């Protein structure tokens, strides 16, 4: 759970201590300011539009950002929450929050990092509140979730046996990821499902980059062990 | 044995995988070793296969959960929610504010007239009622209270005669008391053993009357 606190403590508009623009080095490699990506440039543009009061135009541009990050965001949120409705809400909330606070966005961070951190914080909040709920209430019917997956998956996989096996594999993988230590899980999620580099994960979580690498390696080793592969 | 010790460790292999995925510069020594050692290449391939399998599973799952239509719906929902962002909350004006203009006095006059008419009607009704049926208004309070008491009994389902009592205004309080005594006796008749303690605890009208006498 300590990773949760790390992510939580870092404010979205606050540049991390190890941001590339400060010219710090990590592991011997110089951290030069990366060239601005498309989404970062777009985010800066939206911020300027919002500051100028052109809200309609800002919203139009923001739609591009949504389509750029939507799939990735859903992948992260769904793997984190294991519930499509909740993942849907988490992603929506993250985008709305980003737009609401676009004025506090600083280009010292790539937009993707900033956005992902907001998304992850939302997911962690939801996981926490879900755990709180499950302490008091009987959990709902999990079958509905499974059947929803099955029904939507039926279009791509015509073979029922293959579909069943794939579902079983996914279930095993999800259970294995759930068994990971909180910090390892976050690092694995961000690196593997969020397409973030260890350096970006370090910027998001405030964990040292080499520590991120160690956590990632250990997470993968554990997962392979849980899933019957090599540990 | 020496050859075996030179094999890459698992974390080195994983670093190679990470470097390949993120486009970082891989460790040259590890790359050199991988170029020569088939066993490490096999292990490396296993790492890559495992990582790819987990990623593909996640992608397939996300695709199944969120097909293109759902993504589109979500985009629309996000944009709809954004329409309310940075827009100050709309304050609905209270209807009273509009009456500051000339229409205010007109709007307020009607309720005043209504209230005045209702009060006048009530006053006239009371006065006329007092003129035509003075005995209702001049009956002593004790008598009034005594007349009201059977009304409580009247609600008892076992006493249909209570209606008769209240309906005849000429009856005296003594008659009322007699009726109550009768009623109590009638109610006491079954003598259910279990109810006797409660009956003993309940004050009776006849006892109170006896005390007064």
CA dihedral B24, B25, B29, B34 (to 10 degrees): 60
H-only helix segments in chain B: 2-5, 10-22, 28-36, 38-65, 68-82, 95-98, 103-132, 134-138, 141-154, 162-167, 173-188, 196-201, 205-212
For residue A66, the model assigns a pLDDT of: 92
Q: Is residue A216 part of a domain?
A: yes
Query: What is the Rg, in whole angstroms, of the alpha carbon atoms belonging to chain B?
Result: 48
More confident residue, A205 or B157: A205
As for how many domains chain A has, the answer is 1
Q: Is residue A147 part of a domain?
A: no
Q: Is residue A42 part of a domain?
A: yes
User: Which residue of chain B is at minimal alpha-carbon distance from A165?
Assistant: B57
Domain ranges of chain B: 7-82, 109-138, 139-212
pLDDT in tens, A120-130: 999 989 988 88
Q: CB contact, 8 Å: B69 with chain A?
A: no
- Asked if this assembly's ipTM is beyond 0.85, the reply is no
Q: Do A149 and B24 touch (CB under 8 A)?
A: no
For residue B64, list chain A residues with Cβ-Cβ distance below 8 A. 149, 152-153, 156
* Residue in A53, A84, A94 to test binding to B, most B beta-carbons within 10 Å: A84
CB A178 within 8 A of CB A150: no
pLDDT in tens, B124-134: 988 888 887 76
Q: Do B65 and A84 touch (CB under 8 A)?
A: yes
- The minimum CA-CA distance between A21 and chain B, rounded to whole Å, is 19
| Residue A175 pLDDT class (50, 70, 90 cuts) | confident
Q: CB contact, 8 Å: A99 with chain B?
A: yes
Q: CB contact, 8 Å: B56 with chain A?
A: no
Q: Is residue A146 part of a domain?
A: no
Q: CB contact, 8 Å: B82 with chain A?
A: yes
| Residue A216 pLDDT class (50, 70, 90 cuts) | very high
Q: Is residue A127 part of a domain?
A: yes
Q: Is residue A154 part of a domain?
A: no
pLDDT in tens, A12-71: 444 443 333 333 333 444 444 556 788 888 898 899 888 888 888 888 889 999 999 999
Q: Is residue A151 part of a domain?
A: no
| DSSP codes joined into one string, chain A | -HHHHHHHHS-TTSPPTT-GGGT-EETTEE-PPPPPPHHHHHHHHHHHHHHHT-HHHHHHHHHHHHHHHHHHHHHHHHHHH--HHHHHHHHHHHHHHHHHTGGG--TTS-HHHHHHHHHHHHHHHHHHHHHHHHHHS----HHHHHHHHHHHHTTT---HHHHHHHHHHHHHHHHHHHTS-HHHHHHHIIIIIS---HHHHHHHH---HHHHHHHHHHHHHHHHHHTTS--
* Global pTM exceeds 0.90: no
User: Which residue of chain A is at minimal alpha-carbon distance from B64?
Assistant: A153
Residues of chain B with pLDDT under 50: 1-5, 102, 150-168
Q: Is residue A169 part of a domain?
A: yes
User: Which residue's structure tokens are 């005849």?
Assistant: B168
Q: CB contact, 8 Å: A223 with chain B?
A: yes
Structural domain harbouring A66: 2-137+163-226
CATH for A104? 1.10.1740.10
């Amino acid at each position: 759970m300590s990773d949760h606190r790390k992510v939580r403590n870092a404010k979205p508009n606050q540049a991390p201590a190890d941001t590339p623009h400060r010219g710090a080095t990590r592991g011997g490699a110089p951290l030069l300011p990366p060239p601005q990506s498309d989404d970062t440039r777009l985010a800066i543009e939206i911020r300027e539009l919002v500051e100028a009061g052109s809200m309609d135009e800002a919203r139009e541009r923001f739609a591009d950002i949504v389509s750029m990050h939507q799939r990735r965001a859903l992948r992260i949120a769904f793997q984190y929450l294991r519930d499509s409705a909740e993942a849907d809400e988490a992603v929506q909330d993250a985008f709305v929050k980003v737009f609401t606070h676009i004025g506090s966005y600083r280009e010292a961070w790539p937009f993707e990092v900033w956005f992902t951190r907001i998304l992850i914080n939302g997911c962690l909040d939801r996981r926490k509140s879900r755990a709180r709920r499950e302490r008091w209430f009987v959990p709902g019917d999990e079958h509905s979730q499974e059947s929803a997956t099955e029904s939507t998956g039926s279009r791509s996989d015509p073979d029922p046996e293959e579909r069943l096996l794939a579902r079983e594999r996914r279930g095993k993988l999800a259970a294995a990821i759930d068994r990971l230590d909180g910090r390892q899980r976050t690092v694995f999620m961000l690196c593997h499902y969020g397409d973030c580099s260890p350096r970006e994960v370090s910027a998001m979580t405030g964990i040292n980059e080499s520590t991120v690498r160690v956590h990632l390696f250990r997470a993968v080793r554990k997962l392979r062990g849980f899933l019957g592969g090599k540990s | 044995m020496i050859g075996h010790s030179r094999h890459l460790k698992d974390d080195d292999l994983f670093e190679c995988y990470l470097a390949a995925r993120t486009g970082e510069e891989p460790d040259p020594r590890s790359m050199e070793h991988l170029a020569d050692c088939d066993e490490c290449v096999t292990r490396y391939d296993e790492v890559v296969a495992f990582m790819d399998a987990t990623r593909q599973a996640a992608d397939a799952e996300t695709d199944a959960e969120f097909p293109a239509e759902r993504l589109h719906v979500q985009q629309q929902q996000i944009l709809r929610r954004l329409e309310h962002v940075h827009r100050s909350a709309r304050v609905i004006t209270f209807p009273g504010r509009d009456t500051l203009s000339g229409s205010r006095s007109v709007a307020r006059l009607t309720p005043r007239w209504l209230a005045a008419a209702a009060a006048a009607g009530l006053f006239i009704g009371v006065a006329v009622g007092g003129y035509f049926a003075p005995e209702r208004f001049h009956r002593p309070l004790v008598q009034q209270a005594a007349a009201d008491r059977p009304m409580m009994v009247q609600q008892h389902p076992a006493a249909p005669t209570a209606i008769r009592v209240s309906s005849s205004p000429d009856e005296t309080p003594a008659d009322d008391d007699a009726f109550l005594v009768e009623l109590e006796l009638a109610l006491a008749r079954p003598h259910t053993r279990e109810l006797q303690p409660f009956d003993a605890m309940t004050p009776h009208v006849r006892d109170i009357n006896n005390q007064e006498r």
